[in-house]
Amino acid sequence: AQKVTQAQTEISVVEKEDVTLDCVYETRDTTYYLFWYKQPPSGELVFLIRRNSFDEQNEISGRYSWNFQKSTSSFNFTITASQVVDSAVYFCALSEARGSGNTGKLIFGQGTTLQVKP
């Protein structure tokens, strides 16, 4: 069965600190996608990144970076120099593959609530 685990329920940091959000996944598929979404207090889901299972290169986008380690089935997310506006719930998700292609059905982790204090 496919599963996504975000072991950190809540994290609190002070502004300008770096913070890493952990994500561990389980799947038997060889082809899959991993995602990170941000859910600010307003409630909408904001897409952050999608990573193909064949692409293990780490990615950096401004203050955000992602570390994909297939050997440990982890896809961790780091925010550098955190800001108050980063306060949100962050979800890691795994796509479900079926047959010849991905279905678009995502398996979400429980989410990590990040609070950045000024």
User: 9 or 71, CB closer to another protein?
Assistant: 9
Question: Cβ of residue 91: shortest distance to another protein, in angstroms?
Answer: 6
Question: Cβ of residue 34: shortest distance to another protein, in angstroms?
Answer: 10
Binding footprint of another protein on the chain (CB under 8 A): 4, 33, 35, 37, 42-45, 47, 50, 91, 93, 95, 101-111
Q: Which residues touch 25 (CB under 8 Å, ≥6 apart)?
A: 2, 3, 4, 5, 34, 73, 74, 75, 92, 94
| Whether the Cβ atoms of residue 31 and residue 101 lie closer than 8 Å to each other | no
Alpha carbons within 13 A on the beta-carbon side of 97: 14
User: 104 or 118, CB closer to another protein?
Assistant: 104
Question: Cβ of residue 17: shortest distance to another protein, in angstroms?
Answer: 25
